Amino acid sequence: MELLVSYLHHSQNQIVACMNADGREIRNAVDTRRIAAEIHLSNSTAPSPEAASTKLILAAKRTHRRCPADGFNYYDGGWNVSDSHYLYSVAFSAAPPLLAGIIWFILFGLWLLGMIIRFCCCCCCSCCRPRRQRNIDHNRTAYTITFSLLLLFTLACIVGGIVAYVGEEKLERSVVKVTLYVLDQADVAFGNLRNLINNLLAAKKIGVDQLGLPAEVQSQIDQIGGKINYYADKLHTVSKHSTVDIWMFMRPIRRTLISVAIGLLALILLGFFIAAFGLKFLIYCLVIIGWIVVTAAFILTAMFLLIHNVVADSCVALDDWLQNPMADSAIENIIPRLDNETSQKIYSTTRKVTYGVVNVINSDIINVTNVNMPPSAGPLYYNQSGPLMPLLCNPLHPDLSDRKCLPGEVTFDDANKGICTTPGRLTPNGYNQLLSLMDNNCPGLSNYSKMTYAGLLAASILLLLSVVAWIVHGEYARQRRLAT
């Protein structure tokens, strides 16, 4: 469009220079084709009302889960983060680890309470009765088996904690990568909308020898300019807020996971050495701490299972949307788009602008450039030697229907790259970029969230078994120490 403004502002001088050399004429024709192509870019295909009204259920099979808020019936609305039933159903999918943590907390808490009551009763009874010497029977086989299990559980728990930490680290990197990609694409889309506004405003101001766009078209440019500005700002704001929300959600989860992972590793190592030496009092102190840590680990596991399910649902939903981007779907809650009425109006206006700009240029070529003005014409007179300048091919008829170029007209063949191949949605480059987002980033997010969840689940179960092994092996270790 800058070329268009420059061309119209200095049209007479440029045409004079163009007429003096065939090479310059060819170069000017190329510039003219590029100029018109910039305005023609948004006119490839109008969005059809039928396509826009199609409702697409995203990730229908994957999101087919029971919803506790709907009497535990299956949810069939697909991926939709604004639907409370979807949120309830995906949250319910993370219930098993949470339920396991609650059961562990209650049952083991009751066992600890019984042990405390038993210990208090034994203390009271021992104070009233004289102490008798007991023979300690040491079972070496049981000691060896329990020690082997304790060592196995400890090592496996450490591995599980490391896997969970590494998975979370990679998950965070993938989140950063996707976030930066989304911001970059939002900036590109924002810039494209701004360029469309600038092109339309520049087209509104054109004028060659008192020729310009009709007043009706100029008025329509003003009307749609405000709407395009609104949607451009909305797109920019939504993308920024979405990334901030993601970071605000991920930061506390990361801190909690790091705290639990460090506490888990320290606890499992300390418990191993204390149980190996049979220090009964310290063992029971660690058992109480382990009881709480295991519960927290199960809760964190449920949280990461929830994250994994949401991420996997989103990846499948994005894939479904890419297969049918024109359909109305819940993805519009994340990627705002123009409504169909506004899209049709922008489409109609840009076609009028395209026709008007080409018509103004051709009128100047016919009435001024290719006419040998007499010296009495004043400012319109200049040296017009050389071949006649070809007309620019207008792709539209006066009724805005498509028109084929006539022989001798300059066409858009050299300036049609990047024009949308789908009805008003995506350029091929943009479509391929979204595919790369799906193919390269989504599997990473899904795999790393699954890796973190699996590592946490394994560490939680193994820590639970280790707590039990502390008690059993600690007793055998104490008996062995007393027997020697």
With tokens 């034994």, the residue in question is 122
Q: Which carries the bigger pLDDT value, residue 155 or residue 479?
A: 155
Which pLDDT score, from 0 to 100, does residue 107 have? 92
Give the best-scoring range by mean pLDDT among 308-322, 328-342, 374-388: 308-322
Give me the numbers of helices (H) and strands (E) for the chain, helices first please: 12, 2
Q: In this structure, are strands 73-74 and 66-67 parallel, antiparallel, or unpaired?
A: antiparallel
339, 424 contact by CB (below 8 A): no
DSSP secondary structure letter of residue 131: -
Which pLDDT score, from 0 to 100, does residue 189 have? 63
Q: Which carries the bigger pLDDT value, residue 17 or residue 358?
A: 358
Q: Where are the domains of the chain?
A: 2-130+137-483
Whether pTM exceeds 0.75: no
Q: Which carries the bigger pLDDT value, residue 50 or residue 112?
A: 112
Which pLDDT score, from 0 to 100, does residue 24 have? 32
Residue 418: left (phi > 0), alpha (psi -120 to 50), or beta?
left
Q: What is the C-alpha to C-alpha distance for residues 115 and 264, in angstroms, rounded to an integer?
A: 24
Q: Provide CB contacts within 8 A for 427, sequence distance 6+.
A: 418, 419, 420, 421
Which pLDDT score, from 0 to 100, does residue 11 have? 32
Closest Cα partner for 81 from 221, 251, 238?
238
Cα–Cα–Cα angle for 415, 418, 419, rounded to 5 degrees: 85
Alpha helices per DSSP H over 278-339: 280-323
445, 181 contact by CB (below 8 A): no
Side chain identity at residue 414, one-letter code: D
Q: Provide CB contacts within 8 A for 456, sequence distance 6+.
A: 160, 164, 257, 297, 300, 301, 304
Which pLDDT score, from 0 to 100, does residue 103 have? 93
Give residue-wise pLDDT tens across range 355-373. 777 777 777 667 766 676 6
Give residue-wise pLDDT tens across range 383-403. 556 667 677 788 888 887 888
Which pLDDT score, from 0 to 100, does residue 105 have? 92
